[in-house]
Structure 1
């Protein structure tokens, strides 16, 4: 008998010895297959040419929806514009171009591939800047040592002794130089606990980038579902850093930090649609205004889908992103990042008269549909910022194109993009509403979550504690099984050959990710 055959026989013997109910089979994801209204076509012509060309080539070569690549790119470019460029409509209506972009895409949608392409120029820029920063750091370190030497010498010989005046003057010059220590250019982080985010802002001169192609953990931290003893949302710093109008000078531990003027955070989180259920269940982030500060992208999946002609949407081919297109995008990122890293004072970008009038009509349209019975009434917690989000997008477009003010074309293109993101926000709202489980089903889910350390539960015990009729209990179990929240396991007869033992229900391990207890 061959070694391979002996090994296979040994595996078969061991497998046969394991009771069926003790085996752990691979789980399908919790079902999110709600029938949703199709989205309008993404307005590619609204993007500046340098962005439009790359989005089109990413979509063609990587085989992803155009909107997925465009949404992430908009979030990244908005951050690159920085903390010192603002649109100015009037004194009480200003804002920067940084965006909070939440992208919900199905499994297998190649989010990481898109992210690596779009982050590449940022990594190249950071590599160059870190070399400069380290060289400057060595100089400042030498100056600090020189200052320490002079101070020790003055103390030794006494203040007022011969030569101390010159030493004091040199120390003052060193102190003045050290006050201008450049900020750390590494603005990128995935640690968004409140304390870490504040320290990063202070270290990096008031700008932080939170970009993640797997934003489940980051979103859970914002929602207070991770590292939160009380379960409260941790969105305070993000609220303060959205408009850039506040000076941040605190941290949650009570330690003082250097006051940060015009703080700016760029947030781009990509995750799977199940995270929408967590977001929809956290009323606190809607009440605080965090949800309304976000733009939403929830594209239709391309996985396994076909074009009208029957060909696969993601059929394999030889398409590549051209070097010319990628280089133009890299030059854009370098131009914006170099400018924003050197700017120290705010610059205000006004609107042309035509652009102002167009935006006023857009504002009136949203406002008139925000009352009871209006088009945006059900989603008012998000819709309330649609008009100002349009101004942010207009500022972003104007800066990519190098305009000195926001022109009519800029605001019209921003409006086209905003209409698409409004449709996505409505789609998210509908998904959350349709995926909401009946209260009786949630009783069972909450039981699984509370007892998350136990994988298999007795059907008899679960029914006795459910507080519902047997037929209702069976309906709720069937519903949860249909959505892959759990599954029933058949058990063997007892040792005497009598009636079957009470069955078991096994909870989907994915529920651990939905649990507030998971860390």
Structure 2
């Protein structure tokens, strides 16, 4: 205050001192307040503290609390786990046991089992946080695993109850389908006979009568059911469409290879891509298609996917020019679990038979329930669950903004809240089954929503890394970090692109990847300021004050 203005500063200081009447009276006995004021004068003009500096330091302390924790740029991704306790309670023990037997990170088993639940419940349940929002519970999941990680073993174990249920239902339906086929054969013969008769008709009345009979016959064409097919592991675009039609729009892809993407990229169609069914299948899209022999109309498509693939498949998916801008990449959940190769026990552990039977029974009970439902069941959020979800939405909205963790993957980030609702729905239905109608427990609890949100937060880290926006630090990044610390030590907390160029003489486009990494790891963030002397706003980079003491 003394350096700011000796006169006005004295009045402010004197009034402030008078608030403590006892100390003020005691000090006045020794010297006047003016005498004390003069002792505050600094002998070293370089060390003076002005009111502007004081305000700036207070702002820096306040801003320090608003910054996220720094992530070391030389190790930005630590393969965060989605643990087995994220699953519905009835699946957790089985998941732990399978992870131990397969000797893989528990993330693999957890997300694989979510995929199986999604396969079962898809199209039969949906979550509605508000009247105009309907979120289905099917998932598109890609788990990246190199060779020798027991992918086939894992998928065989988690999908076996589905195969057994399929087989049992097919046996029950075989006789019914045979009878329906016989009826259809007789119908075809009758239709052919009537058509021959109409050609031989001699009078107009006879012809009109036969036409009416043919119309009635066509209207009464017997239907032939199809065998239930829950999932497959290898499709062409045509066979996928045919199976979806036969299964009334519901199907799952469960595979340990990336063949699906080869199909999408045009392996069987001369390079012509076909993403439409996958794009529509995430949220109940409609498909209409005409062929020479028939016409397809699928009112709602609900696909689910559990794909355990080589990591290179994810890179291939992102690097294909044909996938850019169509929304294909953004529809998948990406998992890059920690690889345990080289550190496995390689013992003879097996899943206890009791756990396996419980898992089989649970899956088959759920299948019996969903295939007996007349219409989909709506799941609602409790008041506390809804409040928690909307807080999460607000947090995600900030991360989608400039400098946020999702700013580079807006398409994926925009779908994250929907993914969280889907996980909440899956957890709720399994933990509270049987849910056969709206009168059963259809309200998702706070605890379930918190589980789903925790999964969503972890998925962000995996997605950022999978999309390639979180790479190891370069030498330039390290140099920039040293420079940022130097700026902070001089009591500054920001810099511009001009400052950056003057220091490093590197064009903006060449240093952008380093800045993106520093933003991702919470070292800096972008702020735009109005510049009255320029047409555009000035881009300023704020420096995380925590960096000053960060090693």
Query: TM-score by structure 2 length?
Result: 0.64
- By how many angstroms is 1:353 displaced? 1.6
Decide whether aligned partners of structure 1 residues 41 and 186 sit closer, same or farther in structure 2, where only a CA change above 3 A counts. closer
Q: For the Cα contact (< 8 Å) 1:202–1:257, is it kept in 2?
A: no
What 5-or-longer segments of structure 1 have no aligned partner? 1-33, 306-313, 437-519
The alignment status of 1:147 with 2:183, answered yes or no, reads no
- The equivalent of 1:274 in structure 2 is 312
The alignment status of 1:358 with 2:397, answered yes or no, reads no
Tell me which of 79, 85, 98 is aligned to 1:58.
98
Output the CA distance in 2 between the equivalents of 1:51 and 1:177: 45
Which secondary structure state, in structure 1, belongs to the residue aligned with residue 308 of structure 2? strand
Tell me which of 386, 389, 394 is aligned to 2:416.
386
- The equivalent of 2:132 in structure 1 is 92
Give matches, 1:456-471, under 5 Å. none
Q: For the Cα contact (< 8 Å) 1:277–1:432, is it kept in 2?
A: no
- By how many angstroms is 1:115 displaced? 0.8
Decide whether aligned partners of structure 1 residues 154 and 338 sit closer, same or farther in structure 2, where only a CA change above 3 A counts. same
Which secondary structure state, in structure 2, belongs to the residue aligned with residue 288 of structure 1? coil
- The equivalent of 1:429 in structure 2 is 467
- By how many angstroms is 1:73 displaced? 1.3
Output the CA distance in 1 between the equivalents of 2:225 and 2:377: 20
Q: For the Cα contact (< 8 Å) 2:184–2:221, is it kept in 1?
A: no
Output the CA distance in 2 between the equivalents of 1:102 and 1:187: 19
- The equivalent of 2:58 in structure 1 is none
Which secondary structure state, in structure 2, belongs to the residue aligned with residue 328 of structure 1? helix
- The equivalent of 2:286 in structure 1 is 247
- The equivalent of 2:336 in structure 1 is 298
- The equivalent of 2:161 in structure 1 is 121
Give matches, 1:392-407, under 5 Å. 392-401=422-431, 402=433, 403-407=441-445
- By how many angstroms is 1:84 displaced? 2.9
- The equivalent of 1:199 in structure 2 is 242
Q: Give deviations 1:158-192, integer Å, cap 9, x for gaps.
A: 9999xx99xx79x86x965824x434302422343
Give matches, 1:185-224, under 5 Å. 185-214=228-257, 216-222=258-264, 224=265
Tell me which of 262, 270, 294 is aligned to 1:229.
270
Which secondary structure state, in structure 2, belongs to the residue aligned with residue 248 of structure 1? strand
Q: For the Cα contact (< 8 Å) 1:249–1:256, is it kept in 2?
A: no
Larger Rg: 2
- By how many angstroms is 1:50 displaced? 2.2
- By how many angstroms is 1:94 displaced? 0.9
- By how many angstroms is 1:82 displaced? 2.5
- The equivalent of 1:77 in structure 2 is 117
- The equivalent of 1:7 in structure 2 is none
- By how many angstroms is 1:148 displaced? 4.0
Query: TM-score by structure 1 length?
Result: 0.67
Decide whether aligned partners of structure 1 residues 155 and 425 sit closer, same or farther in structure 2, where only a CA change above 3 A counts. closer
- By how many angstroms is 1:101 displaced? 0.3
Decide whether aligned partners of structure 1 residues 285 and 149 sit closer, same or farther in structure 2, where only a CA change above 3 A counts. closer
The alignment status of 1:178 with 2:243, answered yes or no, reads no
Q: For the Cα contact (< 8 Å) 2:237–2:263, is it kept in 1?
A: no
- The equivalent of 1:347 in structure 2 is 377
Decide whether aligned partners of structure 1 residues 132 and 212 sit closer, same or farther in structure 2, where only a CA change above 3 A counts. same
Decide whether aligned partners of structure 1 residues 384 and 205 sit closer, same or farther in structure 2, where only a CA change above 3 A counts. same
Q: For the Cα contact (< 8 Å) 2:125–2:377, is it kept in 1?
A: yes
CA RMSD of aligned residues (A): 3.2
Which secondary structure state, in structure 1, belongs to the residue aligned with residue 180 of structure 2? helix
- By how many angstroms is 1:196 displaced? 2.0
Output the CA distance in 2 between the equivalents of 1:62 and 1:39: 18
Tell me which of 340, 345, 365 is aligned to 1:335.
365
- By how many angstroms is 1:229 displaced? 3.5
- The equivalent of 2:346 in structure 1 is 316
Q: Give deviations 1:265-295, integer Å, cap 9, x for gaps.
A: 1111111112222122125435222222111
Output the CA distance in 2 between the equivalents of 1:153 and 1:409: 66
Output the CA distance in 2 between the equivalents of 1:35 and 1:274: 21
- By how many angstroms is 1:378 displaced? 1.9
Tell me which of 27, 34, 39 is aligned to 2:79.
39
What 5-or-longer segments of structure 2 have no aligned partner? 1-73, 434-440, 475-551
Matched residue count = 385
Decide whether aligned partners of structure 1 residues 227 and 435 sit closer, same or farther in structure 2, where only a CA change above 3 A counts. farther
- The equivalent of 1:455 in structure 2 is none
Which secondary structure state, in structure 1, belongs to the residue aligned with residue 141 of structure 2? strand
